[in-house]
Amino acid sequence: MGFESPVGCQAGRGGWLEYTPQNLDQFRCYFQPYLPPNVMAADLTVSSTDFTHLHPDYHLLPPRDLWPNLVPTLALLRYLMAVSGVSFQIHSVYRSSFVNSHSGGAAASAHMDCSGIDITPNTQPQKAIWLAKHIWYQKGASIKMGLGFYTSTRFHIDARAPHHPQKRRWGWGQSASVCQHHYNQHFSATLPDDIWPFNDNAALVPTPDESCGYSPSC
């Protein structure tokens, strides 16, 4: 049985914005400045692999008031890519409460705030994963980083998720010294600070292009 895509909109956590060409254009325009290399705005419209597999014609967009929540997580993804040299496949970004409940998501899921992204490294998964864990230990507290593993290669990241006041992790348990050890095997220096995107907080406060037609209401 299929589900009808939702029409209209409902603002706030777990809400939705109707998947129309005009709304999709605004979504693309808004996120263009924040996209990591080789990631397209359309890649950010995937809500949940399992749900999409069962209901391929069901589409929605996150409500506009949640769009800024994704910007810090995209910055973290850019950093992961820049330091590791690895690209990632994106499996899940925003979930409405409806999609979340039909895909087994946690009630406190950062995906309902448009803050979580589930990814798999396209190459060198071990290298990318040790880097993610090392970042969590070294810098996670400063950005309230979430890092959760669903399989050995598929994992969740978020940063500054509105309903999570501190860093957290799930699905893995290596100590800081183990992560440091593995990081040292893959990378020659300490984490590069000069390209850490959270040094300039102003750059992470979205200033939407007026021509996008963005307004925080839905």
What is the token pair recorded at 47?
């809500």
The CB-nearest residue to Zn ion is 156
Stretch that binds Zn ion, among 120-128, 148-156, 173-181, 195-203 (CB under 5 A): 148-156
Residue 116: helix, strand or coil by DSSP?
coil
Pick the closest to residue 83 from 20, 145, 129 (CA basis).
129
Q: Which is nearer to Zn ion, 63 or 116 (CB)?
A: 116
Stretch that binds Zn ion, among 19-27, 42-50, 116-124, 184-192 (CB under 5 A): 116-124
At closest approach, how far in Å is the CB of 111 from Zn ion? 6
As a whole number of angstroms, the distance between CA 73 and CA 58 comes to 25
- Rule CB under 5 A: say whether 169 interacts with Zn ion: no
At closest approach, how far in Å is the CB of 217 from Zn ion? 27
At closest approach, how far in Å is the CB of 119 from Zn ion? 9
Q: Which is nearer to Zn ion, 13 or 156 (CB)?
A: 156
3-state helix, strand, coil in the chain (%, to 5): 45, 10, 45
- Rule CB under 5 A: say whether 156 interacts with Zn ion: yes
8 Å CB contact between 117 and 73: yes
Q: Which residue has the tokens 């907080």?
A: 201
8 Å CB contact between 49 and 92: yes
8 Å CB contact between 81 and 37: yes
Stretch that binds Zn ion, among 22-30, 45-53, 83-91, 150-158 (CB under 5 A): 150-158
Count of residues interacting with Zn ion (CB under 5 A):
3
- Rule CB under 5 A: say whether 154 interacts with Zn ion: no
Q: Which residue has the tokens 């593993």?
A: 149
8 Å CB contact between 164 and 111: no
Out of 14, 15, 68, 116, the only residue in the binding site for Zn ion (CB under 5 A) is 116
At closest approach, how far in Å is the CB of 110 from Zn ion? 7
Name the residues that contact Zn ion, by CB under 5 A. 116, 118, 156
